[in-house]
């Protein structure tokens, strides 16, 4: 028997990737997928294989006969419609933050804790935050080998992490200022004001072009942002380490796609680079890019640009900590629209399909 699949948020940046990935997925699909979006997108036609599928407005009836519903339409729509889809018989895979910390909803990275996907009392499986997702693919094999106790993480998150609006704003601000380069070298806040005057920031609190913003998301408790708290709470849940110490800083950078994380990971026993490389080399969904540029070895390390369009998470700059033999420092990069969102959702759909 095949699976009837719906994509909720089909017209968005992640929805576009979901549609593309479904075309090459191993899922046994039954008929054309159901594409759902807001009322304003209803009637639009999107490509599917050799034809097109018309986008429908989200409604309860739209989920009738659907086996798998992939949601990427924001937390508010997920809270409103994901329970409805589940009640009508679909297994929901949700890319928003709406259900991630719900004790009855598994939070799953396909390569890290796939078994958790089978236990879904509400009929919903949650996709982690894109930054957490990328880090977990590299952290899990190291945890299995050495016992993770602490993570100090600084993320460098692409504008695309804020969706298509973030990408559009970055490109528009960049284009507006390219012919006015001297204004970017003015003193004080004048350069920022110049960019903001050209294209006022909407997706971000301040101009992102030619800039680095020392926060992602909204500030919440203890002067940390919601993006930083996601790294704390989601890492603990995915790894089943409620006492894991996490010290996060999330930064927005003027990159279209690809999140990078500089991480200092501490373990319960001493660890060497050689041992760490053995664990990383055989990890699923992970590619090691790590050359020092010495003794004829090419200089190699991951970059966001190199991760764009790549299914695997990239890891490099693996090195022993200078102060603590129990700690490693490394650099992890992944395409936030692919592994950080759409790809993991489709992988989870394949896990559900394999249960039959």
Q: Which residues are catalytic?
A: 130, 259
Sign of the Cα pseudo-torsion (134, 317, 327, 285, in order): positive
CB 330 within 8 A of CB 4: no
Sheet of 56-57, strand order: 56-57, 34-37, 5-8, 68-71, 91-94, 124-126
CB 239 within 8 A of CB 143: yes
Q: Kindly give, in sequence order, each residue whose CB lies less than 8 Å from that of residue 196, ignoring residues fewer than 6 positions away.
A: 206, 207
Q: What does each C-alpha distance from 40 to 27, 56, 252, 332 come to in angstroms?
A: 30, 10, 30, 38
- Strand locations in 239-323 (E): 245-252, 259-267, 286-288, 291-292, 299-300, 313-320
């Amino acid at each position: 028997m095949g699976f009837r699949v719906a994509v909720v948020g089909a017209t968005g940046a992640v929805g576009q990737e979901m549609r593309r990935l479904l075309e090459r997925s191993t899922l046994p699909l039954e008929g054309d997928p159901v594409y759902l979006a807001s009322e304003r997108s209803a009637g639009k036609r999107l490509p599917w294989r050799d034809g097109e599928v018309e986008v429908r407005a989200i409604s309860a009836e739209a989920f009738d006969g659907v086996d798998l519903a992939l949601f990427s339409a924001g937390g508010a729509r997920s809270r409103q419609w994901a329970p409805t889809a589940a009640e009508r018989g679909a297994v929901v895979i949700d890319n928003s933050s709406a259900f991630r910390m719900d004790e009855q909803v598994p939070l799953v990275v396909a390569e890290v804790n796939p078994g958790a996907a089978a236990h879904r009392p509400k009929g919903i499986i949650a996709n982690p935050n894109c930054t957490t997702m990328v880090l977990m693919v590299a952290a899990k094999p190291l945890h299995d080998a050495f016992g993770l106790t602490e993570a100090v993480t600084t993320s460098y998150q692409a504008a695309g992490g804020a969706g298509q609006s973030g990408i559009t704003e970055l490109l528009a601000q960049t284009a507006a200022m390219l012919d006015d380069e001297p204004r970017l070298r003015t003193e004080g806040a004048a350069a920022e004001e110049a960019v903001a005057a050209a294209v006022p920031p909407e997706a971000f609190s301040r101009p992102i072009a030619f800039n680095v913003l020392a926060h992602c998301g909204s500030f919440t408790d203890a002067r940390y942002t919601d993006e930083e708290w996601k790294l704390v709470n989601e890492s603990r849940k995915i790894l089943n380490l409620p006492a894991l110490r996490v010290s996060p800083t999330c930064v927005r950078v003027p990159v279209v796609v690809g999140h990078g994380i500089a991480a200092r990971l501490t373990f319960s026993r001493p660890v060497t680079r050689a041992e760490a490389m053995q664990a990383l080399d055989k990890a699923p969904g992970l590619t090691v890019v790590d050359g020092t540029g010495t003794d004829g070895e090419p200089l190699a390390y991951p970059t966001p640009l190199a991760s764009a369009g790549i299914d695997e998470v990239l890891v490099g700059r693996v090195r022993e900590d200078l102060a603590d033999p129990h700690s490693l420092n490394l650099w992890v990069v992944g395409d936030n629209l692919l592994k950080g969102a759409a790809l993991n959702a489709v992988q989870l759909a394949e896990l559900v399909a394999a249960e039959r």
